[in-house]
């Protein structure tokens, strides 16, 4: 199994080293052809407008959408990655995004940086809370019928799954708790097995 990490901008190195620490091979993805052969793709935290523009300019968006729709890979987006994955972006629909995840996200939903925070979060399927870091984080304000909410805060859902799409407002890659990544690797495993 190979996990791609979208390396256009943001904290992709932290995702890559967390996946490697779990014994899985990583490939950094900057060009369309680099998405070939990956069973899962992580879209990191960063600036969603920057990533979206680069994805569109260098046609990485098409490669990702095609490979996902062909059932060849799972995708996990954190923070900016969640925004890029979303179908609708409140007040900013014109910014380039993939539109795969049937949700509406609100960017900077907590406010500016001074509202950025860390807190313990109860997550469906985990027996102990997850320590979550929210940095100018988005929140989901609408979820489609096939979207499963795995965790929420007062403002709304912050961790969701739709089949092999996973998205979190927070940044597990900046801590040492690997449970979210382990969950994602299981989704990617399904794509990997299917190919055989």
Partner 1 sequence: MAEIGTTKVKRGLAEMFKGGVIMDVTTVDQAKIAEEAGAVSVMALERIPADIRREGGVARAADPRLVEQIMNAVSIPVMAKVRIGHISEARILEYMGIDFIDESEVLTPADVTYHIDKWQFKIPFVCGARNLGEALRRVSEGAAMIRTKGEPGTGDVSEAVTHMRAVMNEVRKVQSMLEDELVVEAKDLGVNVELLREVRMLGRLPVVNFAAGGIATPADAALMMTLGADGVFVGSGIFKSSDPLPRARAIVAATTYWEDPKVLFEVSKGLKEGMTGIDARTLVELDKMQVRDN
180 touches 170 (CB < 8 A):
no
| 3-state DSSP helix/strand/coil % of the chain, to nearest 5 | 30, 30, 35
* Shortest reach from residue 71's CB to partner 1, in Å: 29
By beta-carbon proximity to partner 1, the closer residue of 140 and 188 is 140
Per the annotation, the verdict on 34 as an active-site residue is no
* Catalytic (active site) residue 173: yes
Is 171 annotated in the active site? yes
**One of 97, 173, 181, 183 is an active-site residue; which one?**
173
Instruction: Choose, by CB under 8 A, the member of 8, 29, 139, 147 that binds partner 1.
Output: 8
Rounded to 5°, angle at Cα 75 from 73 and 76: 155
Distance CA 16, CA 67 (A): 20
CB 49 → partner 1: shortest distance, Å? 6
**H/E element, 170:** none
Least separation in angstroms between residue 147's CB and partner 1 is 24
11 binds partner 1 (CB under 8 A): yes
Q: How far apart are CA 91 and CA 93, in angstroms?
A: 6
Identity of the residue, 79 or 85, whose beta carbon is nearer to partner 1 in the bound complex = 79
Pairing of strands 156-162, 148-153: antiparallel
- List, by residue number, the catalytic residues: 79, 171, 173
Residues that bind partner 1 (CB under 8 A): 7-14, 30-31, 45-47, 49-50, 53-54, 57-58, 79-80, 92, 107-108, 111-119, 133-136, 153, 171, 174
């Amino acid at each position: 199994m190979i996990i791609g990490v979208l390396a256009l901008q943001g904290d992709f190195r932290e995702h890559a080293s967390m996946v490697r620490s779990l014994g899985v091979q990583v490939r950094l993805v900057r060009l369309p052809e680099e998405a070939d052969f990956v069973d899962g793709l992580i879209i990191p935290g960063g600036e969603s407008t920057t990533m979206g523009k680069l994805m569109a300019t260098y046609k990485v968006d098409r490669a990702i959408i095609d490979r996902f729709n062909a059932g060849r890979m799972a995708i996990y987006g954190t923070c900016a990655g969640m925004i890029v994955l979303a179908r609708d972006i409140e007040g900013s629909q014109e910014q380039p995004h993939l539109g795969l995840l049937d949700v509406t996200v609100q960017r900077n939903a907590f406010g500016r940086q001074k509202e950025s925070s860390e807190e313990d979060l109860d997550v469906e399927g985990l027996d102990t809370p997850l320590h979550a870091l929210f940095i100018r984080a988005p929140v989901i304000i609408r979820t489609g019928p096939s979207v499963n909410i795995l965790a929420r805060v007062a403002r709304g859902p912050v961790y969701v799954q739709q089949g092999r799409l996973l998205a979190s407002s927070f940044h597990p890659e900046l801590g040492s708790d690997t449970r979210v990544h382990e969950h994602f690797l299981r989704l990617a495993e399904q794509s990997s097995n299917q190919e055989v």
